[in-house]
Structure 1
Amino acid sequence: ENALRSLLEALTSPPYAPTQHLEREQALAKQFAEILHFTLSFDELKVPPREPLGDRSPQWSPSPPPQLDAESEVNNEMANRMSLFYAEATPMLKTLSNATTKFVSETLPIEDTTDCLSTMACVCRVMLETPEYRSRFTNTETLLFCMRVMVGVIILYDHVHPVGAFAKTSKIDMKGCIKVLKDQPSTSTEGLLNALR
């Protein structure tokens, strides 16, 4: 949360416009993109809540909990926080959204942050839909990285902007972003499209 706050401060502070920040602070923008990529990757790996954990195998039987030494014991407060974290459908995204919302509520004007997020979404969309740029992606992991970053900034924008990302007045071309995702193989984008719903 603290790292995100520092990145957002650096990428949104005056006097520069969002595009200027992204050009001048490329390493910081890349770090922010890495956080978004990790967040969505982590949440994609989480077991869906509708899948019962105990029904994986008919021979499944519980094993005794591992014995912990005194140094690795988790106190009750930490155990409760961990339980609440993992109870969320998308725990990392929820944490990131809450941290961004907190940053925006403490940092005015909000437009500095939403402009940065919408600019990043636009850059990702253009990179994905323009054959010249897309041909530079040497592997599918780079393509997936770009799609995850685009979806991540859209979700954050939707959380912090007063009318959200799906409003007609939004600075994000949602139709274009969704079209770019739908044009990809469904196995790589199904989770990302679901995240936008």
Structure 2
Amino acid sequence: LQFYCSNVIAKAWNAVCPLVAKLKRFYEFSLRLENALRSLLEALTSPPYAPMQHLEREQALAKQFAEILHFTLSFDELKMTNPAIQNDFSYYRRTISRNRLNNQQLEAENEVNNEMANRMSLFYAEATPMLKTLSNATTKFVSENKTLPIEDTTDCLSTMACVCRVMLETPEYRCRFTNTDTVLFCMRVMVGVIILYDHVHPVGAFAKTSKIDMKGCIKVLKEQPSNSVEGLLNALRYTTRHLNDDSTSKQIRALLQ
């Protein structure tokens, strides 16, 4: 029996180590995304151009911004539907902690030691870890660039949201989409910039004074098949800051129920 248990434990450990190594690579990638996002925001908001002028002049950078948001929402949707990620990582942490108490060190700790495991644990504890990283990066960008009017950042985000909404709801644009992946790309980018806007704007994206047409954006999402947008609607419900503020109309709350 002891041999059988040891064999099972060894198999479980050998199975979980490659998964933890992969989780580490995604965590480190999130740090690179954070730096990239801040650089892109600086390029897309710096004077003397208005947000729309920036997006027209710097289309390649705007596309990279959109690609980051697309990946972020894709990753977080997968993470939310895979609870095994945190279960496996919790098992890994318990194992290395138990071995440390026994003055043993496992080979896997050379790649993911206790300090790294603690940072990764905080990252994966978030419901939407990549989006949380980008939201924090955007907030930090605004707070550190005090000479840059906050409107320069929020106008850039609201302009991108408007462009995506128009592309999704206008037949002339929709007929150019050759596959559903393009529609999903636009939806993810739209939701991503709405969430970033809501984190950095003083009253958020849902207030009447918001420059984002939230009713139109939500309506566009709800016109799509429910299996492709439920994760995006949940992101608006649970990762925004101002949805439950008094300034949010009952109609918008009802749309997101």
Could you say which TM-score interval applies, normalised by the shorter chain? 0.7 to 0.9
Q: C-alpha separation between the residues in 1 aligned to 2:176 and 2:133?
A: 33
Shift in Å at residue 77 of structure 1? Answer: 1.6
How far apart in 2 are the matches of 1:147 and 1:79?
A: 33
Deviating more after overlay: 73-82 vs 126-135: 73-82
**Length-normalised TM-score, structure 1:** 0.86
Q: CA deviation at 1:108?
A: 2.5
- Whichever of the two has the greater Rg, that structure is 2
- Summarize the Cα distance change of 1:44–1:70 in structure 2 as closer, same or farther, 3 Å threshold: closer
Could you tell me how far 1:74 is from its partner in structure 2? Answer: 1.6
Give SS of 1:4's match: helix
Asked which structure has the greater RCO (Cα within 8 Å, sep 6+), the reply is 1
Stretches of structure 1 lacking an aligned partner (at least 5 in a row):
47-60
Give 1:132 deviation, angstroms: 0.5
> Structure 1 165/62 Cα, relative in aligned 2: closer, same or farther at 3 Å?
closer
Aligned pairs, how many? 180
1:89 counterpart = 2:127: yes
Match of 1:130 in 2: 170
Deviation, 1:68, is 6.1
Question: Bigger CA drift: 14-23 or 104-113?
Answer: 104-113
Q: CA deviation at 1:76?
A: 1.9
Shift of 1:23: 0.4
Q: 1:99 to 1:131 in 2, by over 3 A?
A: same
1:140 to 1:72, Cα distance in 2 relative to 1, 3 A: farther
Q: Bigger shift: 68-77 or 122-131?
A: 68-77
Q: 2:83 is matched with which residue?
A: 62
Does the C-alpha gap of structure 1 residues 70 and 178 become closer, same or farther in structure 2, counting only changes over 3 Å? closer
1:104 & 1:16 partners in 2: Cα distance?
Answer: 17
Gaps of 5+ in 2: 1-33, 85-104, 236-255
Higher helix share: 2
Aligned identity (percent) is 93
Tell me how far 1:75 sits from its aligned partner. 2.3
Q: CA separation in 2, counterparts of 1:131 and 1:9?
A: 33
Q: Say which SS state the counterpart of residue 38 (structure 1) adopts.
A: helix
Residues 125-176 of structure 1, C-alpha deviations (whole Å, 9 max, x = no match): 0000000101111111111000000000000000000000000000000000
Distance 1:71 1:128, change over 3 A: same
What displacement does 1:41 show? 0.3
Deviating more after overlay: 160-169 vs 68-77:
68-77
RMSD: 2.6
* 1:53-75 superposed Cα distances (whole Å, 9 cap, x missing partner): xxxxxxxx999xxx964784322
2-side partners of 1:76 and 1:100: how far apart? Answer: 29
Alignment of 1:1-197 (within 5 A): 1-46=34-79, 69=107, 72-106=110-144, 108-195=148-235
Relative distance call for 1:28 and 1:75 in structure 2 (3 A) is same
Alignment partners' CA distance in 2, 1:108 and 1:62: 41
